Amino acid sequence: MVDKSKNDLMSKLVSLCKRRGYIFPSSEIYGGIVSCWDYGPLGVELKRNIKELWWKSMTLYRDDIEGLDCSIMMHPRVWEASGHVQGFTDPLVDCKGCKQRFREDEAKDKCPNCGGELTEVRQFNLMFKTHMGPVEEEGANQIYLRPETAQGIYVNFSNVQATSRRKLPFGIAQIGKSFRNEITPGNFIFRTREFEQMEMQYFVRPEEAPEWLEKWKEERMKWYKDLGIKEERIRFHRHSEEELPHYAAKAYDIQYEFPFGWQELEGIHNRTDYDLKRHIQYSGKDLSYFETNSEERFVPYIIETSAGVERTLLTCLVDAYEEEDDRVVLRLSPKLAPYKAGIFPLVKRDGMPGIAREIAKKLRSRFRVFYDEGGSIGRRYRRQDEAGTPYGITVDSQTLEDDTVTLRDRDTMSQIRVKMDELTEKMEKLINY
């Protein structure tokens, strides 16, 4: 039975995202395009904050991971070696009546839309094809938009290892766009045809892979909890033998309880030496590793952590959304919030707007802030509560007397007085910068 309240939550969240400038339907003035989304002023900031926190956790706060940024377009043989050309398919059926297309597991005996007769099952590859060069002929110069970022890391393993002089164990991290021609995208930004991945591939000795899988499980779960995600709504799911990818010895998902059920947020896999050996086979190049201490040469195992930017963003929004008696509030972690503070003059007279603008100018060199002087102060607070802004700073009549301002907390709505020249330091402590 469908939980109507949970469906209502997604509808309310979609509406809020458009109303507050988080996410817009792509090409909306032309009627939109299915499962493509544009990120507005607040959405792009939230995205940037998520990626920055992930990147810092992987490359800045550790001494064993290097960064990489690979091309979206790669040699077609990469996708033959990875198995995507042959195996990255969905079984599909078409309705002979309404002409809609469905995955085989969504339409058993008849069309779920109109009840019509279905065609025979066909295999449909999920990779987007394009052509490189001036001539577009069938099969000539055909390449693919990458369906994942991991393969770019694998083919650059030796390049990174040699130039950074890394010894095992070490990782390579990348954030980048991927493209999948999903047949049934949906649930807002949960499954889309264009998306960003935050992936880290950790290269280890084969016998150390089980230990590192457990370490990265613990590390990645901690990262989500540090974002403020509610512990009771996040869990591990171990892949059964039937679910296990062909390349993996063991695999886990970090799942989140979305309004549409428990779904994958991030994959953490022991990919063995499958990927590097496939690229050795197809390229003819040596991607093995020589360990000087033991004088051994071997192909490393890989522990993969693979997260989606959009899914993480959706998780943060869903987890933060709350309705109270007289307001809607996004309780985003201050580290994630697009704007860290709203700056308000209580009234538009007595020099208050000028003081408020000066405060905004000073804080803006350190944080993203939003200046607003339109409407009642209560209405302005509510707008920022709904946008997820954690703090409100108000210039009022007392400011004119003692150079203090009101600092309001979004979640508790409590207020304290703070000296203007202490605001930056106070904000840094609150945001945990």
**Which CA distances in Å does 359 have to 130, 362, 380, 395?**
51, 5, 17, 9
Q: How confident is the model at residue 245 (pLDDT cuts 50, 70, 90)?
A: confident
| Rama region for 387: left / alpha / beta (φ>0; ψ in -120 to 50; rest) | alpha
Contact 108, 91 (CB under 8 A): no
Residue with more model confidence, 415 or 132? 415
| Contact assessment for residue 304 and residue 269, using Cβ atoms and an 8 Å cutoff | yes
> pLDDT class for 2, splitting at 50, 70, 90?
very low
Using a pLDDT cut of 90, give the percent of the chain over it: 77
Segment 254-313, tens digit of pLDDT: 999 999 999 999 999 999 999 999 999 999 999 999 999 899 999 999 999 999 999 999
| Architecture of the domain spanning 41-72+149-318 | 2-Layer Sandwich (3.30)
Show the tokens assigned to 201: 């591939």
What superfamily in CATH does domain 331-431 come from? Anticodon-binding domain (3.40.50.800)
At residue 200 the predicted structure's pLDDT band, cuts being 50, 70 and 90, is very high
Q: Please say whether the beta carbons of 129 and 144 come within 8 A.
A: yes
pLDDT reported for residue 128: 87
Give the pLDDT band (50/70/90) at residue 427: very high
Mean pLDDT of 246-251: 91
Q: Is the pLDDT of residue 101 over 90?
A: no
Q: CA dist 183 to 88, 192, 294, 398, Å?
A: 13, 10, 49, 60
What's the token pair of residue 320?
A: 């933060």
Helices (H) and strands (E) in the chain, counts: 13, 23
- The answer to whether residue 123 scores a pLDDT higher than 80 is no
Q: In the structure, what pLDDT confidence band is assigned to residue 88 with cuts at 50, 70 and 90?
A: low
Domain spans in the chain, listed from the N-terminal domain onward: 41-72+149-318, 331-431
Position 114 confidence tier, pLDDT thresholds 50, 70, 90: confident
Copy the structure tokens of residue 81: 């070696």
Provide the pLDDT for residue 6.
64
Confidence of residue 165 (pLDDT cuts 50, 70, 90): very high
Mean pLDDT of the chain: 91
- The CA distance from 51 to 189, in Å, is 16
| pTM for the model | 0.89
pLDDT in tens, 356-406: 999 999 999 999 999 999 999 999 999 999 999 999 999 999 999 999 999
* Inter-CA distances, 256 with 137, 267, 333, Å: 45, 12, 17
Residue 134 has a pLDDT of 72
